[in-house]
Amino acid sequence: MRGKGILRSVLCVAALLSLGCAAWAALPDGNVRVGVVMPTSGTLAYDGGLALNGVKMAVDEINAAGGVNGHKIELFVEDSAGVPATAVAAMEKLVGMQKVVAVIGDFGSSGTLAMMDVAKRSQTPLITPISLAPKITELGNVWTFRGCDSSEMIAKAFTKWAVQEKKLDKWAFIGVNTDYGRGSVDAFGKKVKDLGGEVVYTEYFQQGETDYYPIITKLKASPANTLCLLGETVDLSRVVNQFHEMGLQEKITVMDPTSGTFNPKFLELAKAKANGIIGASRFVASIKTPKAEKFVADYQKRYNIPPEKYAQAGYDVAHMVAIAVKNADSTDTAKVREALAKIEYEGPQGKAHFDAKNQLQIGEYIIAVKDGKFEIVAGPIMAE
């Protein structure tokens, strides 16, 4: 009799201990704290707001479905104003005072590059949903993740499709005379040549230029069958207008791989002349997969506008962080980082995982303008 009592009490203690152990390993009480650094003021405020829309919608979805193992996610949003120094201060505040498990941000590449050092020093995972500069994932900072494509991946997928699938082999480049324009022309030109195509014509223009007849006339006399544009909305609308005035649209396909023309202002300025311009994007609202259709419908209902790639990336990245915390079953930042690196994710954009450099591997869609809408021409195409 007495022996049984002892056994029972031993069992009780063991049970209590094991419970205690379980409680110690799992998520601590309280909310899971996640930081966000996005420009919510300044010139990038509108675009940053779109990414934030996506993040907030994802978090509300997760919390409504019971949170992460029963713990709600709590967001701490800081404004980077599109300024690297402000982004660093915001990141310091999030890791130092709010003790977040991970930080989502920034928008511009220079902001993200500046925040990466804080991520490494404070050992907090940083994941950017937007920044495109290839350098971010090339620096070997294991604490930094890119939850979207890089400009390098876009260029690879785009040229692969254009040169190999569409047999567009004679390329002309018209680019803005800046680091961005000249850098992109070099990068794209090299990829075209690697794939067996030719660069037959390259011209640069000054920002704000109005008369493009001299170079369009020259383009007309060149053997080009592809015109690749690298610039901003207003300048490119003039190029496209004058390109049509010279009647070149029958002979030459217009490409805009960095999406300077895929916005409402361009469509307003170029009207029907925008038709047929081809670009690349990791996401458009017309993707027909169940996950994408549900995301588009929910987003449209919540914000009254269709989602684009910024909102999609914010949404996906917030989900990835939640899954990483769930898989790690801990708020220890090192464990969350490990779990994030191993994640197998499927969202509205498609299936995704991180490579050894913490670069998300996703496909690109080739899109074209048709009557003021963006249609999917091909994809998803993987860069490799």
Near other proteins by CB under 8 A: residue from 23, 213, 297, 342: 213
Nearer to other proteins, 249 or 259 (CB): 249
According to the binding rule CB under 8 A, does residue 210 interact with other proteins? yes
User: Using an 8 Å Cβ cutoff, are 75 and 59 in contact?
Assistant: yes
To other proteins, the closest distance from the beta carbon of 197 in angstroms equals 23
To other proteins, the closest distance from the beta carbon of 208 in angstroms equals 8
According to the binding rule CB under 8 A, does residue 203 interact with other proteins? yes
CA 235 – CA 208 distance, rounded (Å): 6
Q: Which two tokens stand for residue 151?
A: 């400009």
Q: What torsion, rounded to 10 degrees, do the Cα atoms 354, 59, 132, 169 define? A: 80
CB within 8 A of 329, min separation 6: which ones?
25, 26, 27, 69
According to the binding rule CB under 8 A, does residue 186 interact with other proteins? no
Interface size with other proteins, residues (CB under 8 A): 23
According to the binding rule CB under 8 A, does residue 118 interact with other proteins? no
Pattern 154-183, other proteins, x by CB under 8 A: -----------------------x------
Q: Is the dihedral of CA 265, 201, 376, 243 positive or negative?
A: positive
Long-range contact set of residues 263-267: C-beta below 8 Å, sequence gap at least 24: 263/233, 265/233, 265/234, 266/233, 266/236, 266/237, 267/369, 267/372
CB within 8 A of 7, min separation 6: which ones?
none
Near other proteins by CB under 8 A: residue from 76, 180, 204, 303: 204
User: Using an 8 Å Cβ cutoff, are 340 and 354 in contact?
Assistant: yes
CA 199 – CA 212 distance, rounded (Å): 20
DSSP 247-301: T-TTT-EEE-TT-SS-SHHHHHHHGGGGTT-EEEES--TT--SHHHHHHHHHHHH
According to the binding rule CB under 8 A, does residue 214 interact with other proteins? yes
Site for other proteins in 88-107 (CB under 8 A): none
To other proteins, the closest distance from the beta carbon of 174 in angstroms equals 9
According to the binding rule CB under 8 A, does residue 382 interact with other proteins? no
To other proteins, the closest distance from the beta carbon of 241 in angstroms equals 8
Near other proteins by CB under 8 A: residue from 218, 294, 302, 373: 218
Pattern 232-261, other proteins, x by CB under 8 A: --x---x--x---xxx--------------
Query: 331, 292, 332: which is closest to 315 by C-alpha?
Result: 292
Near other proteins by CB under 8 A: residue from 107, 201, 205, 354: 205
Q: Which two tokens stand for residue 310?
A: 């910024």
To other proteins, the closest distance from the beta carbon of 222 in angstroms equals 10
Near other proteins by CB under 8 A: residue from 26, 45, 200, 269: 269
To other proteins, the closest distance from the beta carbon of 206 in angstroms equals 7
Contacts with other proteins by CB under 8 A lie at: 177, 203-206, 208, 210-211, 213-215, 217-218, 220-221, 234, 238, 241, 245-247, 265, 269
